[in-house]
Amino acid sequence: MKRQRSSHNATFITGLIITIILMAEMGTCLWGEILNEREMQDCKYVVVVSAATNSDAGWKQSVSILQEKYHANVVQWVKEPKECLGKLQDLFPDYVCFVATPTEAGRDFVTEIHQMMRELDEDPYTDAIWAILTGYNSDDARRIASHREALEAKRILTATVGAPMDGYETGKMYNELKSNELWEKRADGTIEKINCPTDITELIAEDMNTYQADVWITSGHATEKDWNPGYGYRCGRYLCDQGTLYGQDLKGEKHPINSSGPRVLLAIGNCLLGHISDENCIALAFMHSAGVYQLLGYTVTTWYGYGGWGVKDYFSELQAGRFTLAQANYVNNLALVYELEKSGGKERGLVYDRDVVVLYGDPAWAVKMTPRQLPWRQELTEKDGIYTFKIIGQEKGDWDNRPVIELLPHRIKNIDLLKGGSYHPVITDNFILVPVHKGLEPMKGNKGETLPIRGDYTIGDTIEIQFKADRI
């Protein structure tokens, strides 16, 4: 039987500890929020680990920590993770953490987990928030597993102009497309353009060591072994050696990275950075010496981009503060599968992206943007088995290029749509998806110039979905 998940109608109190106030009548499980032991007992967390890894004293400590921390069930496999499918179907967890050594956590492992986690029930969607806990060594995994404090994402260090600083209090943004360009956002909200050297290797290394950003977002060129932040110009690169991340500039000088974190890395614009090809790879170096506790990345060469860039959209763009990073990764994959189902499985780019983006770390660790007034608000109420979901415009604007998604506070069955069928909502046992994006393109003027389009929604515009369902 599947367990309950959290509502997103919550009050986020500034500080590192996030307090969630939930409607008592919902009786929810707290997806993505670490609060206290009693509340975490209401969530169903499963640790999946190979028998070989669980027999290693160092790696077993991480399993034990997670087991105690979340009152988790532990499921073992011998030859392949899919041996655990039947047990996972029986348990139907809210979170699944796959504890794996670098030898185990390769590309095929990630693909197999993606596919297995869509097979917990009959619908085509992933049924639990999951991640892979690993590290350069077992000490890294144990440190990440032990961490409890939630992280409010206030400061960003980004090496791509594709990740704006709008939702952050402060930040630095290096332009990967144009040399000599750095933008800095200060606490008063002002943004200054700063001239910088073409080779930004040393500057970024210094920022990694001293700027103490909560979120790093990268683009540029990368492989499993290196990262080059310059995409449109020649620049140094970042390499790894025995778990240590360091920058090497064009002069050959090395700039070691030693930063404690905790922070997250979204390598959404990089090829291969999320692929753990062996122990000496850059993803593990980010965890070992750069303070990264959650890392999102591609295990293949990037092409289509939906699976990576969309996570940023849900986490820090138009919906900033609505989802934790782990939730944003989860709902973005739901959106991808929805679009793929809509195309009859024929959209090649979506097929390419579906099983290749991975989140490393503890999936229940809460990393969240500071809430602010969003372009639209989402409301979910229930009375006598009648559920009403509303999307209400709070300003004039364009819909995001991703569908609106609400994670339900508990599992439901026997769903009967009563109102809002014209919006073609998808209602499953654990989420509502509304495809609001209309695919509008900017208009072209008589001289070929681009003209702004009118917004898809304005203040007070309301989409209402109503359905009847039974709790599971």
Please answer whether residues 327 and 32 qualify as being in contact, where contact means their C-beta atoms are separated by less than 8 angstroms.
Answer: yes
Is the pLDDT at 272 greater than 50? The verdict is: yes
Distance in angstroms (rounded) separating the CA atoms of residues 46 and 43: 10
pLDDT tens digits, 385-416: 999 999 999 999 888 889 999 999 888 999 99
pTM for the predicted model, two decimal places: 0.89
306 vs 225, 411, 414, CA distance in Å? 24, 28, 32
pLDDT tens digits, 80-119: 999 999 999 999 999 999 999 999 999 999 999 999 999 9
pLDDT tens digits, 43-59: 789 999 999 999 999 99
Confidence at residue 399, expressed as pLDDT on a 0 to 100 scale: 86
Please answer whether residues 267 and 157 qualify as being in contact, where contact means their C-beta atoms are separated by less than 8 angstroms.
Answer: no
| Cα-based angle 19, 21, 23 (whole degrees, multiple of 5) | 160
Please answer whether residues 395 and 459 qualify as being in contact, where contact means their C-beta atoms are separated by less than 8 angstroms.
Answer: yes
Distance in angstroms (rounded) separating the CA atoms of residues 224 and 238: 11
Please answer whether residues 169 and 155 qualify as being in contact, where contact means their C-beta atoms are separated by less than 8 angstroms.
Answer: yes
| Cα-based angle 460, 461, 464 (whole degrees, multiple of 5) | 115
Where residue 26 falls among pLDDT bands split at 50, 70, 90?
A: very low
Distance in angstroms (rounded) separating the CA atoms of residues 443 and 223: 39
To the nearest 10 degrees (0 to 180), the angle between helices 306-316 and 325-342 is: 130
Confidence at residue 410, expressed as pLDDT on a 0 to 100 scale: 86
End-to-end CA distance of the chain: 8
Confidence at residue 58, expressed as pLDDT on a 0 to 100 scale: 98
Q: What is the mean pLDDT of the chain?
A: 89
Is the pLDDT at 24 greater than 70? The verdict is: no
The one-letter amino acid at 15: G
Distance in angstroms (rounded) separating the CA atoms of residues 71 and 112: 26
Q: Judging by DSSP bridges, how do beta strands 182-185 and 191-194 pair with one another?
A: antiparallel
Confidence at residue 401, expressed as pLDDT on a 0 to 100 scale: 82
Distance in angstroms (rounded) separating the CA atoms of residues 406 and 140: 34
| Cα-based angle 107, 112, 118 (whole degrees, multiple of 5) | 135
Where residue 449 falls among pLDDT bands split at 50, 70, 90?
A: low
From 157-161, 169-173, 317-321, the region with the lowest mean pLDDT: 317-321
Which residues lie across from 375 on neighbouring strands? Answer: none
Edge to edge, the sheet with strand 227-228 lists: 221-222, 227-228, 237-241, 244-248, 254-256
Confidence at residue 454, expressed as pLDDT on a 0 to 100 scale: 56
Average pLDDT over residues 21-43: 40
pLDDT tens digits, 194-225: 999 999 999 999 999 999 999 999 999 999 99
The number of beta carbons lying within 10 Å of the beta carbon of residue 64 is: 16
Confidence at residue 245, expressed as pLDDT on a 0 to 100 scale: 98
The number of beta carbons lying within 10 Å of the beta carbon of residue 169 is: 17
Distance in angstroms (rounded) separating the CA atoms of residues 265 and 259: 13
pLDDT tens digits, 367-391: 999 999 999 999 999 999 999 999 9
